[in-house]
Amino acid sequence: MSQSSYVNNAIFWVELEKISPNPYQPRREFDEVKMKDLAESIRMYGVLQPLVVTRKEVFRDDGGMNVEYELISGERRLRASKLAGLQQVPVLIRSGEESSQLKLEMAIIENLQREDLNPVDRARSFERLSKEFGLKQAQIADKVGKSREYVSNSLRILSLPVEMIAALEQGQISEGHTRPLLMLVDRPEEQVVLFKEIVTKKLTVREAESLSRRVATDRIRNKAKYLDPAIIEMEKSFTESLGTRVRIEKGKEGGTVTIDFFSPDDLRALLDKFNHAETPQKPMTQPESAPVDDRAPADAAKDSDEIYSLKDFSI
C-alpha cells in the first residue's frame, strides 16, 4: 500500500495484533465495568468510530517487509475490541511520521473531549507536555482548547502529597476538594488534618473550603500580638475535649465560642458531651478542719455563678 493511497481520510481494516498501543497514552486507569459495556456494544454494533494510527514499514534482513501500526487515539476502543474478540478494526492512517509530541497531544485532546481523563492523569499529561516538549502553559492551553488557568490549576494538583493524589485518583475525594487542600500547602499538618476530615466525615467541597479559610484566618489571628496566649490554650483544650475545631473570639465585653460540626450526628454527639458534663456530681464531704466560708450566701453564689457561667459567650 503506497502512502498516497491512504492519506485522504480513507478508512482501512487492520488486524488488531498489528496495532501497538500509544506509548504516550495519558490514561493509566480504565474502568473494567465500562470497558466490558463497550465491548458488548462493539459485539452488537461493531466499532462505530475508527481508531487513528500511524503506519510504518519495517524491512527484514531477508529482504521482506513488515507493516506496523501505532495507535494515536482510540485506546478504549482498541482494548474493548480485543475483549469483544474482533480480529480487525477500522482505522484512519495518519500520513508521515508523527512526532511524539503530536501523539501525546492527540491522545490528551481525545480524552478531554470525551471527559475520560481523571484529574491526576490530566495533570500528568500537561506536565509531560511542559517538561518533555518545553511548552508553556499558554501553549498547552491553546493546543487542548482550554484556558491557561485551567492548565495551571490542573498542574497544581501534582503539588499535593502522594496520599492525597492517590485518593483523588481512586475517587475518595473530588477535584473540587483539592482547592481547599492547596490553600494549606504551606501548612502541611493542617492540610493532613483537613484531608482526613474530608475522607472520614465526607465533607462537601463547600464545608472543606470553609474550614480551609478558617485555618487561614486562625493563622493571622495567632500572629496578632494582642491575642491572649491563654485563649489559644483554651481553644486547644476545647478542640481536644470535643474532637472538633473550636475558636474563641474575645471582644471588649465577653466574646463568642465557635464550634464546628458537619452533620446532625456530630451535633448530637456534641450535645451529649455537654449534657454529660452538666450531670451533677456527688458533693465531697467537707473535712472538719476546713475553714468555714462566713461570707453572705448571696456573695458566695455570685462567685460560683461567675466561675462556671458562659453568660459572656455565645455559641
Query: Of 70, 75, 105, 110, which one is the catalytic site residue?
Result: 75
Task: Say which amino acid occupies 182.
Answer: L
The rounded distance, in Å, linking the Cα atoms of 314 and 305 is 16
Q: What is the dihedral of CA 126, 188, 211, 182, to 10 degrees?
A: -10
C-alpha triplet 41, 125, 204: angle, nearest 5°: 80
Strand ranges (E), 116-198: none
CA gap 205, 300 in Å, rounded:
50
Per the rule left: phi > 0, alpha: psi between -120 and 50, beta: everything else, 246 is beta
Query: Angle at the Cα of 56 (from 134 to 140), degrees rounded to 5?
Result: 20
User: Distance (Å, rounded) from C-alpha 79 to C-alpha 157?
Assistant: 29
DSSP 8-state symbol, 64: -
Using CA of residue 223, residue 224, residue 229, residue 233, what is the dihedral sign?
negative
Residue 130, exposed/middle/buried by CB under 10 A (0-12, 13-18, 19+)? middle
Closest CA to 123 of 75, 187, 175, 71: 175
Confirm whether 57 is a catalytic residue.
no
**Backbone Cα Rg of the chain:** 32
User: What cell does 182 get?
Assistant: 492547596
Residues serving a catalytic function are 75
